């Protein structure tokens, strides 16, 4: 795995983990009993805590990436070689 491939895989993992972490620990306006008034979505979170979720996403992604890297590095999961030519 080259460094460029590693970065691409890490950001893919990060993005997937972000969408898994986003709904955790949020309370919507409807659940909190807050009236949003005209034009507000009652399912919008009261306090989304984005900074905390980005930090959580980063360390979870790092752990998943290191585990994946170790599995690939020690050939527990061998990746097939890509063909060198078209014909």
Q: Where are the alpha helices (DSSP H) in the chain?
A: 3-21, 29-32, 50-73
Rounded alpha-carbon distances, angstroms, from residue 84 to 61, 80, 81, 87: 31, 12, 9, 9
Q: Mean pLDDT across the stretch 76-80? A: 80
* pTM for this predicted structure: 0.79
pLDDT in tens, 15-73: 999 999 999 999 988 888 888 777 788 888 999 999 999 999 999 999 999 999 999 88
The whole-number pLDDT of residue 79 equals 76
């Amino acid at each position: 795995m080259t460094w460029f491939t590693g970065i691409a895989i890490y950001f893919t993992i990060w993005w997937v983990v972000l969408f898994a972490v986003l709904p955790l620990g949020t309370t919507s306006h409807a659940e909190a009993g807050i009236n949003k008034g005209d034009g507000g979505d009652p399912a919008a979170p009261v306090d989304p805590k984005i900074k905390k979720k980005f930090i959580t996403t980063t360390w979870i992604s790092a752990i998943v990436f290191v585990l994946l890297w170790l599995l690939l590095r020690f050939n527990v999961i061998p990746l097939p070689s890509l063909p060198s030519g078209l014909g």
